[in-house]
């Protein structure tokens, strides 16, 4: 009914760490190199406090002295420990942004957790609650309560050594998500509200030219069609959020890599658009 397929990345169920990382193309380490400038005469000047990040042989960013890389095998191990406490397992994993991000998926009840580490330096570890739906991921707010972020710094390793924090947070969020999904499945939405729900996807204020208006209408028509299909004509709110997830994660014109990357990104425009959609229906 809601197309709760989650097939991003690679299925790593039942694999050990070495096999899983190789299967999803993440069997490499992050290396830090000194940031330096080379002058025409061959003189090299090392820039204090700055380093280049090389992930799997690809340069992915420049970082400061506080940055400590979380290796893929470390994140996978952390996700496994959290999954064990939640009675689950790591089901899928993948690499996006040209080795700039490694992520893995742990299903929990009707929802699941996206564990990720950004090697380009934006954040150390992020754990996000999401719900499979529409062949993609549905986001349920409030946004501030749906994500745990572990920044780089002196407390990072201690938090990675203690999965109890994530497990406790996840148990509470999964229960809240189940209650919210039940409410959404019983809430009938008038079709006239579709524009509000899609404001984060195709903002009405930006649709000024004939081409932009045409594109907005095309997106609304596509989402409306999936909404009817998912709901069996009932037009419930959960089906509508699944239709939005379908468009953003499956239907929009973009490469598969871009759609997956945007869907697992905790602060990308696709994730924000999904939170906007849910907020309208809250």
Q: Mind spelling out the 3-state secondary structure of 163-224?
A: CHHHHHHHHHHHHHHHHHHHHHHHCECCHHHHHHHCCCCCCHHHCCCHHHHHHHHHHHHHHH
> Are 66 and 23 a contacting pair, CB within 8 Å?
no
Tokens for 216, please give them: 């907005």
Q: Reply yes or no on whether the pLDDT at 18 is more than 90.
A: yes
- How far is the C-alpha of 184 from the C-alpha of 179, rounded, in Å? 9
Q: Please, which pLDDT band fits residue 131 given cuts at 50, 70 and 90?
A: very high
pLDDT in the model for residue 19: 98
pLDDT in the model for residue 239: 97
pLDDT in the model for residue 278: 97
Tens digits of residue pLDDT in 262-279: 999 998 999 999 999 999
Mean pLDDT score of the chain: 92
């Amino acid at each position: 009914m809601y197309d709760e397929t989650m097939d991003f990345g690679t299925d790593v169920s039942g694999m050990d760490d070495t096999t899983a990382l190789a299967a999803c193309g993440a069997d490499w380490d992050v290396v830090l190199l000194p940031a330096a400038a080379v002058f025409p005469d061959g003189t090299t000047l090392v820039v204090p406090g700055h380093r280049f990040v090389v992930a799997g042989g690809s340069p992915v960013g420049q970082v400061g002295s506080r940055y400590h890389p979380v290796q893929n095998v470390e994140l996978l191990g952390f996700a496994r420990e959290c999954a064990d406490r939640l009675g689950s397992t790591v089901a899928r994993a993948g690499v996006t942004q040209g080795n700039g991000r490694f992520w893995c998926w742990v299903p929990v009840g009707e929802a699941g957790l996206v564990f990720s580490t950004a090697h380009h330096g934006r954040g150390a570890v992020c754990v996000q609650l999401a719900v499979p739906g529409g062949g993609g991921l549905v986001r349920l707010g409030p946004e501030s309560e749906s994500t745990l972020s572990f920044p780089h710094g002196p407390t990072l390793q201690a938090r990675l050594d203690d999965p109890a924090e994530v497990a406790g947070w996840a148990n509470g969020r999964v229960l809240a998500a189940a209650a919210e999904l039940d409410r959404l499945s019983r809430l009938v939405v008038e079709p006239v509200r579709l524009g509000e729900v899609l404001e984060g996807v195709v903002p009405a204020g930006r649709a000024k030219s004939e081409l932009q208006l045409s594109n907005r209408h095309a997106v609304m028509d596509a989402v409306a069609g999936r909404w009817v299909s998912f709901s069996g004509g009932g037009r419930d709110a959960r089906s509508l959020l699944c239709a939005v997830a379908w468009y953003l994660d499956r239907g929009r014109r973009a490469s598969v890599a871009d759609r997956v990357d945007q869907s697992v990104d905790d602060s990308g425009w696709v994730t924000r658009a999904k939170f906007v959609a849910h907020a309208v229906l809250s």
